[in-house]
Amino acid sequence: MDKIKDIELRAGASASGLVKQLESTGFQATHLAEAVEIIREMKRKQHTVFLSFTANMVASGLRGVISQMCKEKFVDAVITTAGAIDHDIMKSFNPYYKGSFDADDVKLHRKGINRIGNIFVPNSHYELLEKKFQPMLKELHAENKTVSPSELNKFIGGKLNESSFLYWCAKNNIPVFCPGITDGAIGLQMYFFKQDFPDFSVDVTKDMKEFSELVLNAEKTSGIILGGGISKHHVIGASIVRGGLDLAVYVSTASEYDGSLSGARTHEAKSWGKIKEKGKSVTVVGDATILFPLIIAAIKEEK
């Protein structure tokens, strides 16, 4: 058996050096080091890599890591939620603000401030979203009355700046799939838009062909899955048709004991054929805003 070793912190230590020590630390530190090795293998063996994440990740500063990964073509497809599109648009024009988990939410509501954990988003941001998004819809509608979520997201990305993950996905032709496209502020904006343009629609089934072909035609597939929900399941559910992902890394705070998909570990996915029986996989339990930057920093140091 391998020995558990004490961490030695040294001045000027690198992220990759720290992760190497975490391998022998135990608990979730060991899982984090394993995640780094699995993601390195994804890239070394040139797998088709699917990155999924939930909207709260984009509300946080983790958006910068996601954008950089898309800029550097680290991933081949993104799967996310409508809220992530909301946040990416709004943060392209205005920053979000650091608040507190313990803020008085009634007072915040009266001041027109929305709370996402300890992140504050003023109502004015959503007013700006409407101002920016409605003209996008009009321009898109003039070109095509029915679009898929990935087509919509590519169009939006072309209107944003370089801080945006949608911008880099559009520029690098990385599809952004969003099966729950109406479940967010942009869904509400599309509802408003359809009052004047009832022939406009976003067809979520239109993406299934492109997404399924991407899954089926890949030589090897891997998933990096941050959080849970529809984004997570869209990746692993589609992977059943090819016998499962070859490699997978989950980062999540959700519990598995209520039977939720969000809390399900990688080994449960093997019972469904969502990850191959012999596929390397690991679940790292913890906050992705802490763990994922460390994972990617360690990988980038040892290119």
- Non-local (6+) Cβ contacts of 208 within 8 A are none
pLDDT score at 163: 98
8 A C-beta contact, residue 239 and residue 212: no
Q: What is the pLDDT of residues 147-172, one digit of tens each?
A: 999 999 999 999 999 999 999 999 99
Q: How confident is the model at residue 187 (pLDDT cuts 50, 70, 90)?
A: very high
Q: How confident is the model at residue 19 (pLDDT cuts 50, 70, 90)?
A: very high
pLDDT score at 13: 86
pLDDT score at 302: 75
Q: Is 274 annotated in the active site? A: yes
pLDDT score at 303: 60
8 A C-beta contact, residue 262 and residue 54: no
Average pLDDT over residues 76-90: 98
8 A C-beta contact, residue 283 and residue 266: yes
Tell me the CA distances in angstroms from 119 to 56, 110, 250, one per residue in order. Answer: 10, 17, 24
Strand partners for 225? 52, 250
Which is nearest to 79 in space by CA: 229, 184, 195?
229
pLDDT score at 220: 98
Q: Which of 232, 270, 274, 276 is catalytic?
A: 274
Q: What is the pLDDT of residues 111-151, one digit of tens each?
A: 999 999 999 999 999 999 999 999 999 999 999 999 999 99
Which is nearest to 139 in space by CA: 81, 204, 206, 197?
197
Which is nearest to 129 in space by CA: 179, 76, 190?
190
d(C-alpha 239, C-alpha 72), whole Å: 25
For residues 57-68, one letter each, b for 16 or more C-beta atoms within 10 angstroms of the residue's C-beta and e for the rest, the string is: bbbbebbebbbe
The rounded percent of the chain whose pLDDT value lies above 70 is 100
Q: Tokens 């939006």 label which residue?
A: 156
Which is nearest to 81 in space by CA: 202, 236, 186, 210?
186
Q: Is the pLDDT of residue 88 over 80?
A: yes
Q: What is the pLDDT of residues 235-254, one digit of tens each?
A: 999 999 999 999 999 999 99
Q: Is the pLDDT of residue 12 over 90?
A: no
Query: What backbone phi and psi angles, to 5 degrees, belong to 80?
Result: -150, -170
Average pLDDT over residues 87-105: 98
Query: What backbone phi and psi angles, to 5 degrees, belong to 273?
Result: 80, 20
Domains by residue range for the chain, with CATH: 45-95+124-287 (3.40.910.10)
Both tokens of 123, joined, read: 């109502």
